[in-house]
Amino acid sequence: MMELVKNTKIDFMGKRFIALTISAILTILGLVAAVQVARGSANLGIDLAGGTSVQIKFNTQVVLHDVRKALEEGGIRDFDLQELPTERKILIRVKKNDEKVGELSGKIISVLSQKFSHSNIVVDSTTEIGPKVGSKLRGDALWAVMAAMLGILVYITFRFQFRFSIGATIATLHDVLAILGIFYLIGKEINLLLISALLIIAGYSLTDTVVVFDRIRENMKDRFKKHTFEIVNDSINEVLSRTIVTSLTVFITAVALFVFGGEVIHDFAFAIMLGVIIGTFSSIFVASPVVVMLGKDKSFSNKK
């Protein structure tokens, strides 16, 4: 594998308290966001909160203000508009409406057809989700994340030791909460696409952590006379080049999706970009310090 850095001697463990402080802040922010999501108080997408979404393509260029004015004059309230100017598309979203499924989307289409004529508009898609379905999807998403965390705990316990599984699970949960917290803080919409991104990030972070754990376990067998901190530092430095190359590759791919992928996957790509940065950080500064703090030196080499 190509090596970007060689023979580094960085004292990662010496900076663990600074790193853990940053991680604690991100985790607390994520927990606040998770509570707000569970309460339905965060900026939830209609797939989690319930509501109506209609995407219209116009055959000629229209002004966003005219669409807004037409909808308001047609009696549509509390809607959000998102414009995709290069494709002449406009996404209309109304959250938590109490009208029967199908009524509001039909009303939106009728209003715009009368204002801009039938020949000028094409209905790309309509989505209607009732508040109860949105609440159920929110609960299912929470269970999916919890099941992923449990799976990680069992897998790492089987492959390494229990305290390694605690370190990997905390690091992965940290990544998920950090992304959720950042999205909540900057007011980004939290929807099923973001939940998908969080599960992908969990998988990526776990893989990166396992690579570091593998090297620590090997070095513990050969360098048992060294202090634990030295062995962990050596192990992280030895896989640092691989970590940087892998992270950069995934990050550049996510940037390409962010720039060229269009509005639909814009936030998804943004979440992956954040996840790569935070996942790499946690595999070095969260997972390994937690493992070191949970046990004595000799127990590292017990399981072979």
Alpha-carbon distance of 282 to 152, in angstroms, equals 15
pLDDT, position 78: 78
Encoded tokens for 198: 């969080």
Q: Looking at residue 33, what is its pLDDT? A: 92
- The continuous run of DSSP H or E covering 128 comes out as strand 121-129
Q: For residue 16, what are the contacts with CB-CB under 8 A and spacing of at least 6?
A: 285, 289
Provide the pLDDT for residue 255.
94
pLDDT of residue 299: 46
Mean per-residue pLDDT pooled into runs of 10, the chain (304 residues): 72 88 93 87 80 84 85 83 78 71 79 78 80 73 80 77 83 91 91 87 85 85 76 89 90 92 84 93 88 65 44
Task: Report pLDDT for 81.
Answer: 83
**Rounded to an integer, what distance in angstroms lies between the CA atom of residue 47 and that of residue 37?**
13
Per-residue pLDDT, 127 = 79
- Phi/psi of residue 186, nearest 5 degrees: -90, 5
Provide the pLDDT for residue 2. 61
Spatial distance between the Cα atoms of 293 and 284, rounded to a whole number of angstroms? 14
Could you tell me if 149 and 169 are in contact, meaning their C-beta atoms sit under 8 angstroms apart? yes
DSSP 100: P
